[in-house]
Amino acid sequence: MHRRSFLHSAALLALAQAAGNAMTPDAHAAAAKQESNPLLDEWTGPHGGFPRFDLTKVDAFKPAIERGMDLKRVEIAAIAGNSAAPDFENTFAALDNSGRPFGRATRIFRIYTSTMNDKPMQAVDTELAPVLSAFDDEIVQNEALFARLKTVYDARATTSLSPEQQRLADVVYTNFARKGAALDKAQKARLKAINKRLASLFTTFRQNQLADEESYTLVIDNEADLAGLPDNLRDAAAGAAAAKGQKGKWLFTNTRSSMEPFITYASRRDLRERGWRMWTMRGDNPGAHDNKPLIAEILQLRAERAKLLGFASHAHWALDNNMAKTPDAAMALMMEVWKAAVARAREEVADMQAIADREGSGIKIEPWDYRYYAQQVRRARYELDQTEISQYLQLDKIREAMFWVAGQLYGLQFVKVDDVPVYNPDMSVYEVQRDSKRVGLFYLDPYARAGKSSGAWMSEYRTQEKFRTEITPVVSNNSNFVKGKAGEPVLISWDDASTLFHEFGHALHGLNSSVNYPTLAGPSVKRDFVELPSMLNEHWLPTPEVLNRFALHHKTGKPIPAELVAKIEKAKNFNQGFSTVEYLAAAIYDMKIHLAAMPDRKIDAAAFEKQTMAEIGCPSEIVMRHRPTQFGHIFSSDGYSAGYYVYLWADTLTADACEAFNEAGGLYEKSVAKRYYETILSVGNSVPPDKAFRHFRGRDVDTDALMRDRGFPVTKS
């Protein structure tokens, strides 16, 4: 299982309102005549235009975003104050067409806060986060605007709107209502204050985590202490040490991409424990970067906001707009899988303990041993060694592989271009084409560096649309690979290769989008549907078609041997107990803490973790995939809060969708790929997700497919 964050920026931001400090239309016209501004200007140039990273300066963000807000205020005031009777065109369509300079500036701003977040950038983020939140509420709370939207929304079924227009009215109106557009003045003021404070807390949460990832490191000065570590990890650590002025030593940073391989391979148990403790304590250390007080306040504010909006809890509010609809439905699915996963994890621990006992080490398996001994079991049982597989997984080749699959399934070609500016020289840019016609642009930002968020994600620089003119999407994939020696291929793990395919699935969702209105485009779907295209895309990595062509040995260039592929296939469900338990422990925690939160209750996130894990019987050898103080999915934005379950929800859809391909003859079955493209991948949120899935599968989802996919027993009838 591969759980990645998908940063889902602008469609949700695109909510808007006029205010007292709006410029007059004349002032607007005068301002527009001023010299050009690379953050606000339309994206021009070859390939359909692109953001001017070459002209982007950190100190330009604040004035540009403020000006963008003013420009948008004028547009919103015009929509809200229109003397003509409200109709779809002068309300919903006009709103979708508004705020374009603001949208461009904020998207580049979000790209910088996730990938170029140095100290000056953090200061701008800290200052602007509450301002942007208040601007969002200013638009949502514009009474005249909401009244006009409501009039058109109420009449949507009886006026001659297309299905997509009705859908847009539904989605946008619901969004306004969910954000409190119908509340009274005092409630609105309180809501705005809550959101502003939350925006600041989210920013500080993210910065605290980054601080702990950058300030704590594991430095090794004796080569013997590297026992067990493969060469590529040693080389990368030597490079990292040299870069920090510690030549001759080995430095491991406090991020997933660095610590996970370390605790998988290091045979020095004390060093594994030290690394594991440092890594899992991110944000949980006493002092200035402790995230626990922030979490307590975030939970209180969310609970208060949910009450204001008429919901029993933040979880009820969050789920109301998802496929799952209620926390109960999400919990039921999680607990069904939880039992099977814990049972499997206990078997895995027993296997590992047996190996440790045979070694005569006298140890009891602890969390910092899990990955290490799982690796031993994998070797013993499947004669499968992760480092052996990595010899065949070159980053560049895996990238080519995902491009190739997108060509086979969706007819896409990726042509590398060198005339598009990037914000870091290690990035590459591709023009995406179908039948030699431009579909969009794809940016790849592969390597870890200071100021970049950890993990892997997709972001949308520009959203597809065609309701005014045809605008092609611009998307990116971001990951944190450790850069190897100059001129040598970067070897990655099987899990990393899977992650690349996952994020690329999100990119394909953005690139294949073919709707009219940008609010409904590509990945702007419900949160528990958005992981379907990404998780489904992971399934093409282990196919012989990919492995034989692209899993080439980094020295000999020879394709991966058939017997190794057979071993990978045989070991497919190995360690599913661990990965499912660590994920579900986090997802259940997320739901439970958002159900338990109350406006007047200060919850200690770590104590609640302990209590919850005891309650659900989490094996002591496994901790949450993201411990609370580093759980950015749920505490660095509202994004996945009471929503970490979505990966499991989407995986039930994914497993079932995968069976649709296999029933028809296999994953490269063109007719199924075409149907998938037409019913799901290209329609974005213009069709409700349950309906879209039914169009693809011919029926509702069969959740047993998930249990079969993970090799768990299917217990219910």
Contact 12, 527 (CB under 8 A): no
| Closer residue to Zn ion in complex, CB, 6/102 | 6
Nearest distance, CB of residue 523 and Zn ion, angstroms: 9
> What angle is formed at CA 421 by the lines to CA 417 and CA 424, rounded to 5 degrees?
105
Contact 535, 523 (CB under 8 A): no
Nearest distance, CB of residue 627 and Zn ion, angstroms: 20
Which positions from 164 through 193 interact with Zn ion, judged by CB under 5 A?
A: none
Residues labelled as active-site residues: 503
Which positions from 514 through 533 interact with Zn ion, judged by CB under 5 A?
A: 531
Nearest distance, CB of residue 54 and Zn ion, angstroms: 30
Residue 537 sits in the site that holds Zn ion (CB under 5 A): no
Length of the chain: 717
Report the number of secondary-structure helices (H) and strands (E) in the chain.
Answer: 29, 7
Residue 534 sits in the site that holds Zn ion (CB under 5 A): yes
Nearest distance, CB of residue 645 and Zn ion, angstroms: 13
Contact 340, 713 (CB under 8 A): yes
Tokens 């040490």 locate to 241
Residue 649 sits in the site that holds Zn ion (CB under 5 A): no
Contact 154, 170 (CB under 8 A): no
Q: What angle do helix axes 119-140 and 185-215 make, rounded to 10 degrees?
A: 160
Pairing of strands 428-434, 412-417: antiparallel
Tokens 């594994």 locate to 272
Q: How many residues lie near Zn ion (CB under 5 A)?
A: 4
Q: What angle do helix axes 367-382 and 269-280 make, rounded to 10 degrees?
A: 120
Q: Which residues contact 137 (CB under 8 A, 6 or more apart)?
A: 179, 180, 188, 191, 192, 195, 196
How many angstroms separate the first and last alpha carbons of the chain? 25
Contact 18, 77 (CB under 8 A): yes
Tokens of 497: 């290769």
Q: Exposed e or buried b for every residue in 206-222, given b needs 16+ CB within 10 A?
A: bbbbbbbbeeebbebee
Bridge partners (DSSP) of residue 253 are: 217
Contact 296, 597 (CB under 8 A): no
Helical H runs in 281-394?
Answer: 292-308, 314-320, 327-359, 367-382, 386-390
| Closer residue to Zn ion in complex, CB, 146/481 | 481
The H or E element spanning position 706 is helix 704-710
Amino acid at 641: S
Contact 232, 484 (CB under 8 A): yes
For residue 287, CA distances in Å to 126, 212, 292 come to 19, 11, 11
C-alpha radius of gyration, the chain, whole number: 25
Spatial CA neighbour of 48 closest among 399, 402, 429: 429
Q: Which residues contact 122 (CB under 8 A, 6 or more apart)?
A: 207
Q: Which residues contact 537 (CB under 8 A, 6 or more apart)?
A: 402, 405, 501, 502, 504, 505, 508
Tokens of 373: 């001994």
| Closer residue to Zn ion in complex, CB, 179/710 | 710
| Closer residue to Zn ion in complex, CB, 92/540 | 540
CA distance 324 to 644: 12
Residue 6 sits in the site that holds Zn ion (CB under 5 A): yes
The H or E element spanning position 194 is helix 185-215
Where does this chain touch Zn ion (CB under 5 A) — which range of 1-9, 33-41, 233-241, 300-308?
Answer: 1-9
> What angle is formed at CA 283 by the lines to CA 279 and CA 287, rounded to 5 degrees?
120
Residue 4 sits in the site that holds Zn ion (CB under 5 A): yes
Task: Kindly list the residues in this chain that would bind Zn ion in the complex (CB under 5 A).
Answer: 4, 6, 531, 534
